[in-house]
Amino acid sequence: MSVRRVAILGSTGSIGVNTLDVIRAHPDRFKVVALTAAKQVDVLADQCAEFHPAIAVVADAAGAARLTKLLLDRKINTEVLYGPQALVSAVTQSDCDTVMAAIVGAAGLVPALAAAKAGKRVLLANKEALVMSGDLFMQAMKVGGGELLPIDSEHNAIFQCLPSRFSKDLNPSLGVEELWLTASGGPFRNTPLEQLASITPEQACAHPNWVMGRKISVDSATMMNKGLEVIEAFWLFGLPLEKIKVLIHPQSLVHSMVRYRDGSVLAQLGQPDMRTPIAYGLAWPERIDAGVAPLSLTQLASLSFAEPELERFPCLSLAFAAAYAGGTAPTVLNAANEIAVAAFLEEGLPYLQIPVVVEKVLNSIASVNAKSLEIILDVDARARQSAQEVVRDALCKH
Ligand SMILES: NC(=O)c1ccc[n+]([C@@H]2O[C@H](COP(=O)([O-])OP(=O)(O)OC[C@H]3O[C@@H](n4cnc5c(N)ncnc54)[C@H](OP(=O)(O)O)[C@@H]3O)[C@@H](O)[C@H]2O)c1
């Protein structure tokens, strides 16, 4: 068995920490060669002390100076780099064969694309990369010749339920009719609509089933996360948008399903624990112990499924609208959402203003063909600026 050499983009986040947890249990299979973070320098220093990567990356020079000192004090021989270009170096210069792409948001796009172009096995948690640049990203994977394994639990479930030789071109003979993405419905699935106006960041981040980073927790509450996942599924699996459905499933045990022409529906079940899809991606096509408790079907009270209420979750409708518009519309959607969610978390933007900001920005920036990274980054920057202005107006009125 050859040892996989792993670079983790976003090692201090929720996915990054879970990835290290799986790796820790399998030192014979995995060697960590690069770790990256933005601000959590102390956490990164501890990770370097335990896993001894060749390269560690932080956001800026001050963070790099601090990390260098922490590592020197502990006699850890890791090269410290900083800034966005260093994230690319972590992938291209670290001698890795596997990249966990787990930076949150648009910041993860460029290093994930670099991993795709370099022919690495890409474990994709950073859904925003596919939302912003699905076509470019899938082309980069093809040209690079590496393997793309989805880590988002829903896409990982679908990947497990598809035939191993599945591809868009083969689909007619393989008979895939629909993909059903499940969604818990988040913490406000049953909250009276009139109470949504006063939702706080703490309430929005308290997901009933999953422990995740703050941004994705808010996205789960608004169901923007599911909208981003619909776009992600469209690019990953190549089915038309009409064939990608969303189902509310509050127990979060069926992680997604594939419906076939002959009447079969295949589902993947498991505990809501990201270490399962992470372990699956790391060891694919083998399966390894993920440290996850077994699922006891006899102890389940029930499994229930329902259509999402669009009045409660306007972000889901906005994401479908952007997906159908295509081009750079999903980039605008993603950028406006990132700004609105950050303003909700940090500046007091009311919860119900998140979809309002996203819709205003979507309506103000025309979609163009997303044919190059330059175009995508330009649209992303314009959408962010526009969203900041809309947020400022909303905060003044509030
Ligand atoms: N958490 C889940 O269960 C889950 C499930 C499915 C998919 N995902 C996806 O996985 C990705 C990561 O989610 P998460 O929940 O792990 O997020 P998170 O806990 O917020 O962690 C984000 C990671 O990215 C780093 N980071 C943030 N901004 C950065 C920047 N500008 N440049 C470089 N690094 C930056 C953070 O560094 P610092 O910690 O140093 O700030 C941290 O290591 C997201 O795209 C999310 O949608 C997550």
Specify the ligand 1 atom closest to the Cα of 212: 1
| Tokens 């799986």 found at | 22
| Residue 274 token pair | 């990201």
Cβ–ligand 1 contact at 276 (below 6 Å): no
Q: What angle do CA 107, 167, 248 make, to 5 degrees?
A: 65
* Other Cβ atoms within 10 Å of 263 Cβ, number: 7
Cβ–ligand 1 contact at 254 (below 6 Å): no
| Closest C-alpha residue for ligand 1 atom 21 | 13
Position 164 confidence tier, pLDDT thresholds 50, 70, 90: confident
DSSP class of 40: -
Q: Where in the chain is the domain with CATH 1.10.1740.10?
A: 323-397
| Closest C-alpha residue for ligand 1 atom 1 | 212
User: Which CATH code for domain 4-150?
Assistant: 3.40.50.720
pLDDT of the residue at 301: 79
Cβ–ligand 1 contact at 55 (below 6 Å): no
Q: Where in the chain is the domain with CATH 3.40.50.720?
A: 4-150
Output the average pLDDT for the chain.
Answer: 96
| Tokens 């502990």 found at | 74
Picking from 323, 182, 171, the residue whose alpha carbon sits closest to that of residue 242 is 323
pLDDT at 12 over 90: yes
CA of 120 to the centre of ligand 1 (A): 20
Specify the ligand 1 atom closest to the Cα of 10: 43
pLDDT digits (tens, 9 = 90+) for 15-60: 999 999 999 999 999 999 999 999 999 999 999 999 999 999 999 9
For residue 57, CA distances in Å to 7, 68, 125, 140, 395 come to 11, 11, 19, 24, 35
Alpha-carbon gap, residue 159 to 277, rounded angstroms:
10
Tell me if residue 247 falls in helix, strand or coil: strand
pLDDT digits (tens, 9 = 90+) for 92-149: 988 999 999 999 999 999 999 999 999 999 999 999 999 999 999 999 999 999 999 9
Tell me if residue 180 falls in helix, strand or coil: strand
| Residue 283 token pair | 């060891």
CB 216 within 8 A of CB 225: yes
As its CATH architecture, domain 323-397 has: Orthogonal Bundle (1.10)
pLDDT of the residue at 140: 97
- With the most atoms of ligand 1 within 8 angstroms of its CB, the residue from 40, 109, 216 to mutate is 216
